[in-house]
C-alpha cells in the first residue's frame, strides 16, 4: 500500500495510529459494553483536526486530501468502529455538504466549530417509511415568511444523541415529488427540536444513534442549504463521499480482526503445535489478507479519483460494497479461528463481527450498491 501514499500520507497514518493505540484502544471494550461516548477522547480528536479533516485551514480545518481522510478513518475504526463511524459521518455527510453547497456566510458560521469538534454534525435522511428509497420521505418544511415550519421524524440518526447541527431532508414543495425535497440545517436548542432515546444496537455501540424529531420547528430561511428542491442532489453527492468513509471504516475493522487472528493463531496450541501451523488456519488467514488488501486498494482508488477531480461515484459504490462484504467475511473467519473463544466477550473479535455487520447496511445497502454499479456498467 505504501506505493500509493505520499510522505505526508504516511506521516498522517503514523500519527493517527499512535494516538489511537494510546487513547482509544485501551477503552474500546469499555465504551462498547457501556454504549458510552468518550467525550474526553473526542475533545482530543477535535484539537488534532479529526473533525475537520478536509475543511480549509482558514475555517479551522486540517485541509488534508481524501487519501489522508480514509487513512484516518481506517486507523480510528481499527481501534473502535463506533468512534470511526462518528468521525466519518461528521466529516463526510455533515461538514462536506456544507463546504460544497453552503453560502460563504453559512461556512463562516458553522464550519469552524464543526472542524474543531466543538459541535457535532448529523445527516438526517432516514425515516420510518423512507430508507433505501430516499424519495419517500414525509418530513415537511413549509415556508412561513422568513422561516420554514419544519415537521420531521428522523430515525437511526448516526451521532443523533450528541449532534448540535443536523442536516434535515424535508419536502418544501409536497406536490413536486423528488424535486420538492430540500435540506434545512437545524440546530439543537431550537424550540420544537428534540432527541429521542438512544438505540440499543448490536454493534457500533459507542456511537449515540437516536431519533431526531422536529415539531412545528421554526427555522430561518437562511438555514436552507442550496436552493429549494436540491435536497436529493445534495444527499447523493454527500453519500458518494460518505461511502468512501464507510468503506475505510470497514477496512479498519477488518484489519483489527486479521491482526487479532494472526496473534491468536501463533499463541494457541492444538495437537502439539500453534494452530498457525495447520493448513486450514493458514488458508483462512491467506483469504482474509487477500480480501483485505483488495478492499483497501479499492478504497484508495476511490479516494485518489476524488482528489484528482475525476468522477468517483462508481468507484465509491464498488469500494463500499466490496469493503463491507469483505469485512463481514474477515470478521466471521476471525471468530472461526478463535473457536469457542471467538464467541466470548473476553476476546475482541466478536465486537469486530458486530461492528462489521452494519457496514453492509448504512449509507446504502449492498443490494442498492449492486444496482448502482450495474446501472453504471450497463450504461442505464
Q: Which residues are catalytic?
A: 363
Give first-to-last CA distance, the chain, whole Å: 34
Cα–Cα distance measured from residue 245 to residue 72, given in angstroms and rounded to the nearest whole number: 10
Nearest to 185 by CA among 129, 127, 123: 123
Rounded to the nearest 5°, which phi and psi values hold at 168? -100, 120
The angle at the Cα of 379, spanning 374 to 380, to the nearest 5 degrees, equals: 80
C-alpha cell at 129: 417509511
Rounded CA-CA distance 305/321 in Å is 17
H-helix or E-strand spanning residue 139: none
**Contact, 181 vs 169, CB < 8 A?**
yes
The DSSP symbol for 311 reads -
**For residue 164, what are the CA distances in angstroms to 107, 122, 246, 304?**
15, 8, 22, 31
> Which three three-digit cell numbers place residue 266?
501463533
The DSSP bridge partners found for residue 157 are 210
Query: How does DSSP assign 213-225, residue by residue?
Result: EEEEEEEEGGGEE
- Decide if 140 contacts 110 (C-beta within 8 A): no
Q: Which of 276, 259, 374 is nearest to 317 (CA)?
A: 374
Residues in the chain: 380
Amino acid at each position: 500500500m505504501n506505493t500509493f501514499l505520499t510522505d505526508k500520507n504516511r506521516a498522517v497514518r503514523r500519527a493517527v495510529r499512535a494516538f489511537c493505540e494510546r487513547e482509544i484502544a485501551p477503552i474500546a471494550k469499555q465504551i462498547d459494553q457501556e454504549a458510552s461516548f468518550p467525550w474526553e477522547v473526542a475533545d482530543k480528536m477535535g484539537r488534532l483536526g479529526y473533525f475537520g479533516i478536509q475543511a480549509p485551514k482558514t475555517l479551522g480545518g486540517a485541509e488534508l486530501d481524501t487519501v489522508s481522510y480514509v487513512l484516518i478513518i481506517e486507523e480510528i475504526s481499527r481501534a473502535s468502529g463506533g468512534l470511526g463511524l462518528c468521525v466519518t459521518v461528521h466529516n463526510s455527510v455533515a461538514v462536506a455538504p456544507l463546504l460544497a453547497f453552503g453560502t460563504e456566510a453559512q461556512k463562516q458560521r458553522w464550519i469552524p466549530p464543526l472542524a474543531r469538534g466543538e459541535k457535532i454534525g448529523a445527516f438526517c435522511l432516514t425515516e420510518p417509511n423512507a430508507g433505501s428509497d430516499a424519495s419517500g420521505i414525509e418530513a415537511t418544511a413549509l415556508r412561513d415568511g422568513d422561516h420554514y415550519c419544519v415537521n420531521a421524524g428522523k430515525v437511526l440518526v448516526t451521532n443523533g444523541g450528541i449532534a448540535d447541527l443536523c442536516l434535515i431532508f424535508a419536502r418544501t414543495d409536497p406536490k413536486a415529488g423528488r424535486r420538492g425535497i430540500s435540506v434545512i440545517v437545524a440546530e439543537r436548542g431550537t424550540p420544537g427540536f428534540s432527541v429521542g432515546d438512544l438505540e440499543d444496537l448490536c454493534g457500533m455501540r459507542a456511537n449515540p444513534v437516536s431519533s431526531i424529531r422536529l415539531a412545528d420547528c421554526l427555522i430561518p430561511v437562511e438555514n436552507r442549504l442550496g436552493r429549494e428542491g436540491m435536497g436529493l442532489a445534495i444527499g447523493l453527492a454527500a453519500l458518494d463521499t460518505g461511502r468512501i468513509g464507510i468503506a475505510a471504516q470497514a477496512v479498519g475493522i477488518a484489519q483489527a480482526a486479521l491482526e487479532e487472528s494472526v496473534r491468536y493463531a501463533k499463541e494457541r496450541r492444538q495437537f502439539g503445535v500453534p494452530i498457525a501451523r495447520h493448513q486450514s488456519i493458514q488458508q483462512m488467514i491467506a483469504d482474509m489478507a487477500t480480501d483485505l488488501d483488495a478492499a483497501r486498494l479499492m478504497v484508495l482508488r476511490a479516494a485518489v479519483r476524488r482528489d484528482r477531480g475525476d468522477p468517483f461515484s462508481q468507484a465509491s459504490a464498488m469500494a463500499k460494497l466490496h469493503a463491507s462484504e469483505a469485512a463481514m467475511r474477515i470478521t466471521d473467519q476471525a471468530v472461526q479461528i478463535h473457536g469457542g473463544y471467538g464467541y466470548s466477550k473476553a476476546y475482541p473479535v466478536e465486537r469486530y463481527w458486530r461492528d462489521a455487520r452494519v457496514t453492509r447496511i448504512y449509507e446504502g445497502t449492498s443490494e442498492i450498491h449492486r444496482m448502482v454499479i450495474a446501472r453504471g456498467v450497463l450504461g442505464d
